[in-house]
Amino acid sequence: MTSETPIIVLVRPQLGENIGKCARAMLNFGLTELRMVAPRDGWPNPSAGPAAAGADSVLDQAKIYDTTAEAVADCSHVYATTVRLREDTKRVVTPEEAATEVFNQAGRSAFLFGREASGLDVQDVAMANAILTVPINPEFGSLNLAQAVILCAYEWSKTQSLSQPTLTEQLPPAPQQDLDGLIGHLEAMLEPKGYFLPDSRADATRRTLRNVLTKPGWNHLEVRTLRGVLSTLAKRDRK
């Protein structure tokens, strides 16, 4: 069974900027199908594009519906997002639980998000199979629309094989000879200043200094930068 990417449904969204920010959050985490129910200011909305910050493909492909029922008519699994307690018997799941379910179940799935001012109406929630909510500060339970979308999109992304740029761009640790050069450079500057006195503590002080400089796992660019700092400090002050 191949899981299908969930659909984001914005029910009666109010501001174009918020729609754009939702599109940006979606594309960040691999979601591309956006549906909207009766956006207040119509569609397309000129304020959405700039706020999407490059996620124009999501906006260009967005579909507009008159009712929530029409927007989720082809979906087998509908999750209504809300932080409010409701008097019904629907089961409650977290974004992580919902993402896992979507990944493992057949059929199309949709996450419903209500308008910025008041969230989903009771009638909208009634169409859902489950309520999706997050643990939140009871004294301040207000999430903006894009924040709510990004919580669900991020949890979905964890079921996928998205790249992690911060890891792929990270340089490897510098070789030992580079670290030895840095340590030797620093020791040579500290020696005439009396840093390693008294002699009885010199070896212990050198070991501590080495431990401090080798612990961070510097890469070769960082080592080169530090060597440049030391060389600059060794120069005479400019007049």
- Identify whether residues 136 and 192 lie together within a single domain: no
Interatomic CA distance for residues 148 and 166, integer angstroms: 24
- Identify whether residues 151 and 34 lie together within a single domain: yes
- Band (pLDDT 50/70/90 cuts) for residue 1 is very low
- Identify whether residues 18 and 49 lie together within a single domain: yes
Torsion of CA 158, 15, 20, 166, to 10 degrees: -50
Range from 81-95, 108-122, 127-141, 163-177 carrying the lowest mean pLDDT = 163-177
Taking CA atoms, 212 is separated from 153, 178, 206, 209, 226, in Å, by 40, 15, 10, 5, 14
The token pair at 95 is: 């974004």
**What's the number of domains the chain is made of?**
2
Of the chain, the percentage scoring pLDDT greater than 70 comes to 92
Is residue 202, in this structure, part of any structural domain at all?
yes
Give counts: helices (H), strands (E), the chain.
11, 7
- Identify whether residues 11 and 70 lie together within a single domain: yes
For residues 61-68, give the mean pLDDT: 97
The model carries a pTM of 0.69
- Residue-range definition of the domain harbouring residue 195: 176-234
- Identify whether residues 29 and 122 lie together within a single domain: yes
- Identify whether residues 97 and 15 lie together within a single domain: yes
Q: 162-165: list long-range contacts, CB under 8 Å, 24+ apart.
A: 162/29, 162/30
Could you tell me if 4 and 30 are in contact, meaning their C-beta atoms sit under 8 angstroms apart? no
Q: What is the CATH number for 108?
A: 3.40.1280.10
- Single residue among 117, 140, 163 that ends a domain in this structure: 163
pLDDT tens readout for residues 122-143:
999 999 999 999 888 878 877 8
For residues 204-225, give the mean pLDDT: 85
